[in-house]
Structure 1
Amino acid sequence: MYSIIIFTHVLSAILSIGPFFVLFPVLNRMKLQNSEALDSHLEVFQAAIRIVKHAGHVLVVSGILLMWRGNWPWTTSWVIMTIVVMVGSIVFLARAFKPNIRLYQNEMIDLDTLVLKLRRSVWMYIFLLLIMLWFMVAKPILW
């Protein structure tokens, strides 16, 4: 059972970061498209965010199961730091993408500003996920 949980955890980790790399070509095309094509690119962008969000749910549940079955104490430094970064990434994910897309749709920001903000947010989220991944794989003892 433990190996199935590990597989699920790794697969959900891949699904929680992988779609973001697909978004870079979408962001490049967004600048060059008419409004109809732009709407489809925004839908792809939002679908990728949904995949990441739901994969994150599986990641958290499988991580809790791994902690329970693996007998890791919750007070271990790498566990605490993973949780801290995870909470930060959840808050970041909630504020980084959908509000900016809404601002654009309400014509409060222009397309160039939207693409710039989305690109920056994608890179920041990837960075947060890579930090979290490092904590889970390297399991550093920080204190």
Structure 2
Amino acid sequence: MSVYYQLILYLHVFSAALSIGPFFVLVPLIGRMKVADQAALGVQLAVFQSAVRIVKHAGHLLVLSGVLLILSSGYMWTTSWVAMTILVMLASIVFLARAFKPVIMELKEDGKDRVRLLRILNRKLWIYILLLMLMLYFMVVKPSFW
């Protein structure tokens, strides 16, 4: 295994961890948002948005390093686990683009039903985590579907 491949693989694993990790920190943060005053809620929502931003940028590195790994590994783009990873990745990009921002914007407005909005935010957070874990499964296990 070349040093180039090892470096790209390391960057890929690092960016995968950075793409998933921040969301696990947000799970207890949502619980704290239920009882926070409006000023504290604003800070917590800023932390939430920062975590989403980190995940987005880590996703860029993840995709780039994944493409380089596929090109240098000999796997075909039509290999089932590669194709399934790409499919789930596209779904997660569409989901991430719409999942959090509208709910966060509503939460910033005082007087909205915070409990209902936090329930929605929590559900979307777990859906996104599951999509990321599914991609991680495909990349690690490399199952053969066809």
Q: Same fold (TM over 0.5)?
A: yes
TM-score by length of 1: 0.96
TM-score by length of 2: 0.94
Please point out which of 108, 112, 115 is paired with 1:112: 115
Query: Post-superposition shift, 1:49?
Result: 0.3
DSSP 3-state at the match of 1:18: helix
Please name the residue that 2:140 is paired with.
Answer: 137
Q: Does 1:25 align with 2:52?
A: no
Please name the residue that 1:75 is paired with.
Answer: 78
CA RMSD in angstroms comes to: 1.2
Please point out which of 8, 11, 14 is paired with 1:11: 14
DSSP 3-state at the match of 1:10: helix
Query: Post-superposition shift, 1:107?
Result: 5.9
Please name the residue that 2:127 is paired with.
Answer: 124
Deviations 1:89-117 (A, max 9, x none): 00111111011112333569421122101
Q: Judging changes above 3 Å, is the alpha-carbon distance between structure 1 residues 133 and 108 closer, same or farther for their aligned structure 2 residues? A: farther
Question: Structure 1: how far apart are the matches of 2:75 and 2:128?
Answer: 27
Please point out which of 65, 70, 84 is paired with 2:68: 65
Question: Structure 1: how far apart are the matches of 2:74 and 2:51?
Answer: 34
| Percent of aligned pairs sharing the same letter | 56
Number of residue pairs aligned between Structure 1 and Structure 2:
143
Query: Post-superposition shift, 1:74?
Result: 0.6
Please name the residue that 1:35 is paired with.
Answer: 38
Greater displacement, 69-78 / 103-112: 103-112
